[in-house]
């Protein structure tokens, strides 16, 4: 076959068509037009909604493995956390059971000793459960509002505790709510007893070091007070029953030229995060009245 008979044109597979630069210009103009039209006139919103509806099943299927792996990891974490909590609660239950037996024995010995010495029996303490609904509006005081008031038999002066220790005292009673002044309030004083030494003192609210802090005041510079000492209610004030945990000594600052030591404490109770509390009945109902003090002028008037 002669060479001239063959077709000189390239096969269709190798034909180039428009140049690459021309395609770039066309597609760039189309993209710019679509962006402007979608931004200004929302022309592609229906197409986007249809495309989203079509692709949603595929997106849902693509997310399943990751979500299932995340749920599995969260389930394992929850199981481990529940197992650790269960182990801790069992250990705490064993400790509480031992303490309960010891408390029963101590109460029996206490009753026998009081009967032997002919002392007045200890007063029974009952209480009413309540819940903290909000903090007081005054930012310069440490007070909370509980959802129990006169309708539930709450009285002023009643102690308020939680599962860890003393929280404060009821200072104002309304019909369906009450105001509780916390032990960290700067104007609140709580008579306490050092469990280790048996020394009595008074702790006041003090926010100079940090938010929830207290100070054991009027203790001599050489007083036997150490960090970690537990302070409980002494019961001598006629407000708080004796033996309730109040605070723990955090820091003792003794200065050579000072008469009293600066003793900083932290409350045992959840003062900042209390949710459920117990309002104890006022103690002074069973305490004898304080004897009247007679001044010299009164005695002289009586002789005349």
Determine the average pLDDT of the residues in 99-105. 78
Look at residues 173, 188, 203, 223 and name the one whose alpha carbon lies nearest to residue 266.
Answer: 203
pLDDT digits (tens, 9 = 90+) for 40-90: 777 777 877 888 888 888 888 888 888 899 999 999 999 999 988 888 888
Residue 117 host element (H or E): helix 45-117
* Rounded Cα distance, 159 and 238, in Å: 11
Tokens 């700067």 sit on residue = 186
Query: What confidence score (pLDDT) does residue 227 get?
Result: 92
Query: What confidence score (pLDDT) does residue 292 get?
Result: 67
Query: What confidence score (pLDDT) does residue 284 get?
Result: 52
Q: State the greatest distance between any 2 C-alpha atoms of the chain, in Å, as a whole number.
A: 163
- Of 246 and 137, the one with more pLDDT: 246
Pick one of 2.40.50.140, 2.40.30.10, 3.40.50.300, 2.40.10.340 as the CATH number of 127-283. 2.40.10.340
**Quick check: 264 and 209 in contact, CB under 8 A?**
yes
Domain range summary for the chain, segments of one domain joined by + = 20-117, 127-283
Distance of CA 126 to the CA centre of its chain: 25
Structure tokens at 197: 């030494």
pTM, two decimal places = 0.58
pLDDT digits (tens, 9 = 90+) for 4-53: 555 555 555 555 567 778 888 888 888 888 888 777 777 777 877 888 88
Of the pLDDT bands very low, low, confident and very high (cuts 50, 70, 90), residue 256 is confident
């Amino acid at each position: 076959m002669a060479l001239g008979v063959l077709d000189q044109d390239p096969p269709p597979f190798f034909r180039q068509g428009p140049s690459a630069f021309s395609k770039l210009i066309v597609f760039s103009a189309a993209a710019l037009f679509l962006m402007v039209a979608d931004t200004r006139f929302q022309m592609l919103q229906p197409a986007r909604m249809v495309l989203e509806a079509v692709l949603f099943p595929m997106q849902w299927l693509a997310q399943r493995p990751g979500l299932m792996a995340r749920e599995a990891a969260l389930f394992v974490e929850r199981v481990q956390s529940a197992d650790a909590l269960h182990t801790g609660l069992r250990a705490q239950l064993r400790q509480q059971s031992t303490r309960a037996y010891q408390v029963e024995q101590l109460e029996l010995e206490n009753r026998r000793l009081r009967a032997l010495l002919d002392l007045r029996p200890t007063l029974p303490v009952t209480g009413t459960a309540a819940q903290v609904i909000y903090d007081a509006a005054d930012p310069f005081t440490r007070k909370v509002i509980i959802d129990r008031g006169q309708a539930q038999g709450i009285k002023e002066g009643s102690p308020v505790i939680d599962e860890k220790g003393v929280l404060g005292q009821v200072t104002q009673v309304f019909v369906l709510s009450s105001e509780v002044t916390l032990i960290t309030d700067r104007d609140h004083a709580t008579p306490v007893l050092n469990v280790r030494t048996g020394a009595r003192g008074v702790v006041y609210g003090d926010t100079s070091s940090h938010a929830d802090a207290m100070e054991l005041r009027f203790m001599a510079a050489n007083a036997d007070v150490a960090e970690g000492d537990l302070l409980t209610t002494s019961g001598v004030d006629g407000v708080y029953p004796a033996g309730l945990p109040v605070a723990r000594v955090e820091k003792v600052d003794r200065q050579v030229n000072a008469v009293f030591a600066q003793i900083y404490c932290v409350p045992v109770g959840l003062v900042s995060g209390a949710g459920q509390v117990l309002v104890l009945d006022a103690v002074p109902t069973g305490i004898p009245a304080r004897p009247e003090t007679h001044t010299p002028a009164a005695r002289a008037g009586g002789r005349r």
